[in-house]
C-alpha cells in the first residue's frame, strides 16, 4: 500500500503511534512502538505471507449464522420481483417510492453514487441530514472519513467504487431504520447489487451487516469473517461504520486492519 496514503489515513483517524501486531520484538520485554512513518519502513522490510481467501461453503439462508463460522454461509438475496432491471427505471422507482413511512419525512431519496460496474460496493445504513439535503450518500462528516478511508486503499466513488445504503430515505432524527423500512427497501439494494456485480461488498456497521447477512447477530460476531451474498456468492466483509469511528477512537486501529484486508481481497481479485 502506498505509504503516503497510509500516513494520510492514519492521520485522519488520529493515529499517531502505530504498533504492528506482528512486529518482531527487539528484546524479550521490549515493545516495538513506531510512528506511522517508521512503521511503513518496518513493514516494507518484513516479508509477510499473503493470507489466502478462506474457503466458503453454501448453507441455506434460513439457517442461523454460526457464532464463529468456520465456513462462512451463503446468504440468499430476496428476489426483487417487481423492481426495474435497469438503472434508469430503478432510479425512477426509488425516487417515487412510498413503500414505507420514511417517504413522509424525507426531503428526497438518496439512491446511491459511484461507478455502476465497480468492483467494490460499500453499503451504509441510511441517509442522515446532509445526505437527505443533498441527495447523495455519505456527504457529511462520516462521509469525509469514508472517502479518506477509501482513498488510502486506492478507491473512490468517482473511480472504482459504488456507495449505497440499506434504506434510501432518512430515518427522522437519525434513528436506526426499523425492520419494516429495511424490508421495504430490500429489493432496491438487491437490484443495485445485481446491476453492479461487485467483486466485494463491504458492509459498514450493524444495520448494513445484519441486512446483508440476514441475521440478528451483533456486529462483534459479523466483523472479521468473509461471508457470501446471493447466488453469485459475492464476498461480503463487514467493518465499522465511519460515524462509529468518529465516536469511538479506540476502534480506529482495528478499522485500519480491516482496510488492509479489504485492499488485499480486491488485489486478490485483480490478480486472479
**Cα-Cα-Cα-Cα dihedral sign, residues 242, 248, 253, 254:** negative
Q: How far is CA 269 from CA 116, 150, 179, in A?
A: 18, 17, 34
Cβ of residue 251: shortest distance to ligand URA, in angstroms?
Answer: 16
Q: How far is the CB of 121 from ligand URA (least distance, A)?
A: 13
Separation CA 9–CA 72 (nearest Å): 30
Which CB, 77 or 139, lies closer to ligand URA?
Answer: 139
**Burial of 52 (C-beta count, 10 Å sphere; 0-12/13-18/19+):** exposed
Contact between 125 and ligand URA per CB under 6 A: yes
Judged by CB under 6 A, the residue of 112, 114, 126, 177 near ligand URA is 126
According to CB under 6 A, which one of 69, 80, 128, 235 is a site residue for ligand URA?
A: 128
Q: Which stretch binds ligand URA (CB under 6 A): 76-84, 94-102, 124-132, 186-194?
A: 124-132
Instruction: Return the residue of 65, 131, 181, 198 that touches ligand URA, per CB under 6 A.
Output: 131
Find, among 231, 234, 158, 238, the residue nearest to 197 by Cα.
234
Nearest to 195 by CA among 267, 96, 118: 118
Residues 138-167 close enough to bind ligand URA by CB under 6 A: 138, 142-143, 165
Backbone angles phi, psi at 89, to 5 degrees: -60, -40
The least CB distance from residue 267 to ligand URA, in Å, is: 26
Residues that bind ligand URA (CB under 6 A): 124-128, 131, 137-138, 142-143, 165, 243
Amino acid at each position: 500500500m502506498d505509504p503516503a496514503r497510509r500516513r494520510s489515513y492514519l492521520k485522519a483517524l488520529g493515529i499517531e503511534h502505530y504498533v504492528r501486531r506482528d512486529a518482531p520484538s527487539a528484546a524479550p520485554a521490549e515493545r516495538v512502538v513506531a510512528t506511522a512513518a517508521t512503521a511503513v519502513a518496518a513493514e516494507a522490510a518484513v516479508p509477510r505471507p499473503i493470507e489466502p481467501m478462506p474457503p466458503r461453503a453454501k448453507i441455506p439462508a434460513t439457517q442461523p449464522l454460526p457464532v464463529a463460522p468456520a465456513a462462512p454461509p451463503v446468504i440468499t438475496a430476496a428476489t426483487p420481483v417487481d423492481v426495474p432491471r435497469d438503472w434508469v427505471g430503478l432510479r425512477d422507482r426509488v425516487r417515487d417510492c412510498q413503500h414505507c413511512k420514511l417517504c413522509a419525512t424525507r426531503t428526497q431519496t438518496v439512491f446511491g453514487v459511484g461507478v455502476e460496474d465497480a468492483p467494490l460496493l460499500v453499503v451504509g445504513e441510511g441517509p442522515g441530514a446532509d445526505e437527505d439535503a443533498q441527495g447523495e450518500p455519505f456527504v457529511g462528516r462520516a462521509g469525509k472519513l469514508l472517502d479518506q478511508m477509501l482513498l488510502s486503499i486506492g478507491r473512490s466513488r468517482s473511480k472504482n467504487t459504488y456507495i449505497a445504503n440499506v434504506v434510501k430515505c432518512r430515518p427522522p432524527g437519525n434513528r436506526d431504520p426499523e425492520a419494516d423500512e429495511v424490508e421495504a427497501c430490500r429489493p432496491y439494494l438487491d437490484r443495485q447489487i445485481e446491476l453492479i456485480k461487485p467483486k466485494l461488498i463491504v458492509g459498514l456497521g450493524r444495520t448494513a451487516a445484519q441486512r446483508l447477512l440476514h441475521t440478528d447477530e451483533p456486529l462483534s460476531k459479523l466483523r472479521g469473517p468473509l461471508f457470501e451474498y446471493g447466488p453469485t456468492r459475492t464476498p461480503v466483509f463487514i467493518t465499522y461504520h465511519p460515524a462509529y469511528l468518529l465516536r469511538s477512537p479506540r476502534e480506529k486501529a482495528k478499522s485500519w486492519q480491516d482496510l488492509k484486508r479489504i485492499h488485499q481481497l480486491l488485489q486478490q481479485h485483480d490478480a486472479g
